[in-house]
């Protein structure tokens, strides 16, 4: 997770080791629920 200046926003980055694709997604809030939702959505899209 990359947190922005002043802790105003966050971007989640994940890398698929097989295809070497990097997935980035913006978080509106920095909660565990949203983070897990974004990661699961990234897994299903790949």
Per residue in 9-46, pLDDT (tens digit) is: 788 888 877 888 888 887 887 788 888 887 777 665 54
Measuring CA to CA, which residue among 18, 17, 24 is closest to residue 39?
A: 24
- In the chain, domain spans: 2-45
Other Cβ atoms less than 10 A from the Cβ of 14: the count is 15
Predicted pLDDT at 33: 83
Task: Please give the biggest Cα pair distance in the chain.
Answer: 35
Contacts of 39 (CB under 8 A, 6+ apart): 12, 14
Predicted pLDDT at 19: 81
Predicted pLDDT at 43: 62
Contacts of 8 (CB under 8 A, 6+ apart): none
Higher pLDDT, 2 or 33: 33
């Amino acid at each position: 997770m990359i947190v922005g200046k002043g802790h105003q926003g966050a971007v989640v980055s994940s890398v698929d080791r097989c295809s070497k694709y990097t997935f980035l997604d913006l978080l509106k809030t920095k909660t565990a629920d949203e983070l897990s939702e974004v990661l699961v959505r990234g897994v299903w899209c790949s």
